[in-house]
Amino acid sequence: MRVVVTGAGGLVGSALVPALAAAGHEIVRLVRRAPRAADEREWAPDVDRLDAGALDGADAVVHLAGESIAAGRWTATRKVRILESRTRSTRLLASTLARNSGGPRALICASGVGYYGDRGDEVLSESSGSGGGFLAEVVRAWEEAAAPAAAAGVRVVQVRTGMVVARGGALGPLVPLYRAGLGGPVAGGRQWVSWIALADIVAIYRAAIERGDLAGPINGVSPNPLRQSDFARVLGRVLKRPAWMPTPAFALRLVLGEMARELLIFSQRAIPSRLAALGHAFRYPDLGAAIEVILKDADG
């Protein structure tokens, strides 16, 4: 298949692109600068510019681009960028696909479990309703932005991704802390963490591209969510370091503001119900095994 990818240089994109190429797919990368390689095409979603010719001959578009939600405090300006970088770019792709009847017939969009808000111990499937908070608002608008494509008969999939466990993702800032003996429960540790190994989220995107019977939202999470205290305990065990140093919620809010509340304190116990119904197999359903492999690969 010929697959157009946005955000190819990000955490998921930089792993997905070589995986798709290894599977025999041809990749076209949409970039926000002048192309420097034969497989690149330029687009400018901030000014609604996308040459429909960039999608010619493609079977699917994978849309991963968007302002990082964890790169700094959520000022009013950053919140606008977080929202608009997702909705505007998605709407541009969706409307372009809707007008181009001979173009790609599948749009696979990144999304997030932030859709569910803070839900305590409630088990969350794709049929669960949306919750409250800034990220829930963002994800609702983000997913709705793909409506023009769906209305035109394009198969749209939204991958509601949890915490991505990878050396360049969630583990990046945590490993040094734990190795220094400073890891442990965050905000009491009772909140649920919906996580996913990088290799497994890549496999989920591959399934979304290749399976013509998959449409709508899917939870891109491990079948085994953990309470944050258990997540800390597993990471400490793998690193052979203590995981008892508590970080109180007030300290997180003081340093990170609203971002701490939604990314670190909110509880989301999401499960991949639709993938399970399809018989999808996870390579790393166990957090400890996932971390061991990631650290081994990182350390050579």
Instruction: Report how far residue 97's alpha carbon sits from residue 60's, in angstroms, rounded to the nearest whole number.
Output: 10
Cα distances (Å, whole numbers) of residue 156 to 89, 149, 266? 15, 7, 28
Strands (E), the chain: 2-6, 26-31, 40-44, 49-50, 60-63, 106-112, 123-124, 155-161, 163-165, 192-193, 195-197, 216-220, 226-227, 269-270
Instruction: Report how far residue 119's alpha carbon sits from residue 166's, in angstroms, rounded to the nearest whole number.
Output: 25
Instruction: Report how far residue 233's alpha carbon sits from residue 246's, in angstroms, rounded to the nearest whole number.
Output: 12
| pLDDT, tens digit only, all 300 positions of the chain | 999 999 999 999 999 999 999 999 999 999 999 999 999 999 999 999 998 788 989 999 999 999 999 888 899 999 999 999 999 999 999 999 999 888 899 999 999 999 999 999 999 999 999 999 999 999 999 999 999 999 999 999 999 999 999 988 888 889 998 999 888 999 999 999 999 999 999 999 999 999 999 999 999 999 999 999 999 999 999 999 999 888 888 888 888 888 889 999 999 999 999 999 999 999 999 999 999 999 887 665
Q: What is the DSSP code string of 192-238?
A: EE-EEEHHHHHHHHHHHHH-TT--EEEEES-S--EEHHHHHHHHHHH
Domains annotated on the chain, with CATH: 2-298 (3.40.50.720)
